[in-house]
Each structure stands twice: as structure tokens, then as C-alpha cells.
Structure 1
Amino acid sequence: MGAFVQIVGSFKETLQKIFIRGELDEYEDDKQMHCNARLAEMLDKLSQDLQSSVNFSENFLVEEMQILEEANGIRLPHFFPHLVFSSLLKRRVNSVSDLPICFVNKVCGYLEIVCVRVLMDCCGSYPQLLPSMKKATQNVMGRMKIKFMERVDEMIEMEKMTDYTCDPEFIPSYNKLMGNRDLFLNSLNCLYNSSQTLNMEGYSIYVKHLNDVSENIRNQAFDLKMRMTAYWKIVLKRMVDYLALQLRFFMQQVVNKEIEAQVVNEVMVNGGGIEKMLAEPPSVAKKRERLQSSISLLKESKEIIEQVMDGIVVTSD
């Protein structure tokens, strides 16, 4: 029983070191076990993938004009309803919704691998404990993944439902983007720009396809594009921040509150008790009996040899 308690305690302490405190002393030369660094890399990759969804150059204003056309109605010109922005926002969120889900799958898979590796090291002298403890660990990580995925689904739905931010940078960012409006209009009217392209926000944008679009629709589409661009940057940052906070929260919950209780329950209840787990397997018992028989035979052989040697010595005398 004492050995089991020591194994569970060592398992939990090691996970606290590499998951929560970020200590590297036990796996200093194994980068795969440097958990905080690997998770930070995964978050950075997610952020880069999300940022790649910000694109000016492809079919400039086409999507915005399509939404404006479908939202057209009997109302004053030059004004588009909030429904237009909401519809575009839903499209944008749906277009990147797979990325957070893939992130959760990747992170949870990695954390489970780390947990099992630590568990195998802790159970080195008691391999018979490994199956039950591994099963308990995988169950805990599986539940964490389900909860994490639920939070991600909620995050995606919330972003689609409400367009809101208290970020003070939204208005300045929008105004800066709208400052490109004159450049945009000039590129359409410029007789010397045969290719009709302009550089905006580091992108080379082709605008010739907008020549036949009415000025009202074109201006509204440009405004909608700039509003969404300013807001979309905030949405992407919010997604990454939310995922990082949720990840750290679930890691704390698993290590400090769940995994120890689950392991003990699996071994003591579902596994039939620690005595049964540490009981000698039949195969080992048979080997032990054979070894004991061999030892007894060797002892008898030794006694016989000693008697023979004593007889030889007496005869010589």
C-alpha cells in the first residue's frame, strides 16, 4: 500500500512540475516533455493560422457586395442594416471554426502522451499497476477534452451571436483603414493605372472588377470591409486568449483535483484493490517454484559432493 501511495504522489508531483510550474529538471534533455514551451508553440501556430484569414487581395469587396445585395430592402440609401455586418461576421467565424477545434485535439493528444510517459516512469518497479493507472489517466484526459471542446463550441457561437468589444483600438483602427478610401477611389478613376491595382495594408489589390459597380454599393462594401477588418483582428486575438486561459484552467483542474482521485478509484475499486494488483502473477509463481526446486536440488548436490570429498580424504589417510 505504501508503494502505491508513493507512486501516486510522485505522479502528481511530476505533473505539477511540468504542467503547472514549468520545471524541467526531471526531463531536462527531452524537449518533448517541456510542456509549457510546446504548448506555447501550439498557441503561436494557432495565432498565425488565424491571422492568415485576414486577406485583402483575393476578390476585393466581392463577398461584401454579395451580402449587401442579399440584404437589400425598401429603406433609405447609403445605410446598411446591422444584419449585414452580422451575416459577414458569421461567415468569417465559420471559416476559421475548424482551427480552434484542431488545436484542442492536438493539445489534448499531446498532454495525454506526456501523462502516460510520466506514469510509465513512476510505475517502473510495479508494472502491474500501469494498466489501471493508465486507464484512469486516459479517462481524465478524455473528460478534459470533452469539456474543452464544449468551451470552444460556446466561444464560436458567442462570437457569431454578438459583435462587441471594449477595445479602445477598434475605432482608431477603423479610421485608419477608412483613410485608404481616397486611394481606393483614385485607383478606380486613374487613367494611367492600366492594371488598376493599389497597395493597401501591405497587400496588392486588384480593383478593375469594381468599375461597373454602382458607387453606392461600392462605397458601402468598402466601409463594411474596413469595419470587419478592424473588428476581426480583435476577434482573433480574443479567440487565442480565451483558448490559452481555458487550457491553463483545465490543466490546473486535472492535476490538482481530478487525476489523483481517479487513479485511486480505478485501482482500489475497479481494479479489485491494491493487494490484488500487487499479487504475484501465476506465471511468476511458477517460475519461483522452479527456482526454489533448483535451489533445493543444488543444496542436495552440494551435500553429496561434500560427503564424497570427505570419503576421499579419509581413504587417503
Structure 2
Amino acid sequence: MATFIKIVGSLIETLQKILIQGEIDEYENDKQMHCDARLVEMLDRLSKDVQASVKFSESFLIEKIQFLEEVKGIRLPLFIPHSVFLRLLKKKINSVSEFPIKFVNNVWGYLETVCAKVLIDQCGNYPKLLPSMKKATEHVMSKMKAKFAERVVEMIEMEKITDYTCDPDFISSYNKLMNYHAQFLNLLTSYMSNSITVEGYGSINIRHLSEVPENTRNQAFDLKMMMTTYWKIVLKRMVDFLALQLRFFIQKVVKK
């Protein structure tokens, strides 16, 4: 029993150093055990994957126009109902929801590898204890992964039902994009150019919109700029949430 307690204490201490404190002295030559670097790399990859959805395609506004056509109803023609924005938001979140789930699976697969290696090293002189220690560790890892995944799914679902931010830059960023509206209309009606250049997004083709009714076009433009502004906040919040939850659950794993 004393040996078992000693191994558990040593295991916890080693995992704290590697997973929480970022100390890798005894694994300096094993790049797989450089946890901080690997986890940051995974978060960066996730951020790049979801940020790829922030773009203005060649079919600028077409998707928004089609969406407005789908949700047409008996209402004032110049105003976009809140429910329309939420439906579009839900659709966009569904399009990237696989990335957070994939992140959980990748991160936990890596953490399980790290824990397994530390466990084998700690039990090296006590092979008879390894099976029971391994079983207990796998049980804790599985339980924590399930809870982590549950939190991530809840986060995704919460983003679908409420559009809110206290970010003071939201209004200014939205207004900055809407300032291109007058130029957008002028270029379409004057046939001066087939494209408009928007700061941060480059040159955008607009000639395919010349035959679209003005009201529909204006609503689609407003919807696009509002969603573009808010979408950046959603994605940033999503990545930040995953980073914080990851640290929280790593600590819980070590303590368990």
C-alpha cells in the first residue's frame, strides 16, 4: 500500500510539472512531452481553421440574398427581423461546430499519450501495479474527456440561441464596414467598376448584383456586414473558451 501511495504521489507530481507548470526537465529530449508547445500549436490550428470562415467570396451577398428569400414573410420590407439574424447565426455555427469537437478529441488523445508514458515510467520498477494504475488513469481520463466534450457542446448550443457581446469595438467595426455601402451602391448604378475594395478583405466582385432589387440588395449588405462583425467575436470567444476549459480540465485530471 505504501508503494502504491508513493507511485501515485510521484505520478501526480510529475503530471503537475509537465501539464500545469510546463517543466520538462526529465523529458527534455522528448519533443512529444513538450506539452505547452503542443497544446498552443493545437489551439493555433483550431483558430486558423475557424477563421477561414471569415471571408468575402466571389459570390458576394448571394448566400445572404438566398437566405432572405427563404425567410420572406408578411412584415415591413426595410427591416431585418431579429429572428432572421439568429437563424443565419445558427446556420454559420453549425458549419464550424465540427472543429471544437475535433479539437477535444485531438487534445485528449495527446494527453492520454502523455499520461500513459509518465505512468509507465513511474511504474517501471513495479510492473505488477501497472495494470491497475493504468485502468484507474484511463477511467479518470475518459470521465474528464466526456465532461470537457459536454461543456464544448453546451458552448456551441449557447452561441446559437443568443447574439450578444459587450465588446466595445462591435459597433465601430460594424459602422466601418457599413461605410462602404454608399460606394457599393454608386459603383453598381454607375457601372464604374465591377468590384469594390474593402479594407481587410481586398477586392470583391459586385457586378453580379446589378439586377438584384435594391431593397433586397441593401438588406443583404446590412446582414452580411453585421454577421461579419459579430462572427469574428463568436470565433474569438469560442477559441478563448476552449483554451480556458482545457486548462481547467487538465488541472482536474491531475488532481483526480
Identify the TM-score tier after normalising by the shorter chain.
Answer: over 0.9
Contact 2:61 2:220 in 1 (8 A): yes
| Structure 1 residue 134: Cα displacement | 1.1
Q: Distance in 2 between matches of 1:30 and 1:190?
A: 64
| Structure 1 residue 204: Cα displacement | 2.7
Return the structure number with greater relative CO, CA threshold 8 A, min gap 6.
2
Matching of residues 252-267 of structure 1 within 5 Å: 252-256=251-255, 258=256
Matching residue of 1:236: 235
Matching of residues 123-162 of structure 1 within 5 Å: 123-162=123-162
Secondary structure at the residue paired with 1:93? helix
Task: Return the letter of the residue paired with 1:197.
Answer: S
Alignment of 1:198 with 2:234, yes or no, is no
- The worse-fitting range, judged by mean Cα deviation, of 95-104 and 240-249 is 240-249
Matching residue of 1:175: 175
Matching residue of 1:89: 89
List alignment gaps of at least 5 residues for structure 1.
Answer: 259-317
- The worse-fitting range, judged by mean Cα deviation, of 6-15 and 110-119 is 6-15
The 1:192–1:183 alpha-carbon spacing in structure 2 relative to 1, beyond 3 Å, is closer
List alignment gaps of at least 5 residues for structure 2.
Answer: none
Task: Return the letter of the residue paired with 1:76.
Answer: L
Matching residue of 2:9: 9
- The worse-fitting range, judged by mean Cα deviation, of 113-122 and 63-72 is 63-72
Which whole-Å deviations, capped at 9, do the CAs of 1:265-302 have from their partners, x for residues lacking one? xxxxxxxxxxxxxxxxxxxxxxxxxxxxxxxxxxxxxx
| Structure 1 residue 190: Cα displacement | 3.9
Contact 2:55 2:201 in 1 (8 A): no
Matching residue of 1:46: 46
Secondary structure at the residue paired with 2:54? coil
Contact 1:67 1:87 in 2 (8 A): no
Contact 2:47 2:239 in 1 (8 A): yes
RMSD over aligned Cα atoms: 1.2
| Structure 1 residue 202: Cα displacement | 2.6
Same amino acid, percent of matched pairs: 66
Matching of residues 1-317 of structure 1 within 5 Å: 1-193=1-193, 196-200=194-198, 201-256=200-255, 258=256
| Displacement over 6 Å in runs of 4+ | none
Task: Return the letter of the residue paired with 2:74.
Answer: I
Highest CA radius of gyration, 1 or 2?
1
| Structure 1 residue 175: Cα displacement | 0.5
Kindly tell me the number of residue pairs found equivalent between the two proteins: 255
Q: Distance in 1 between matches of 2:173 and 2:118?
A: 47
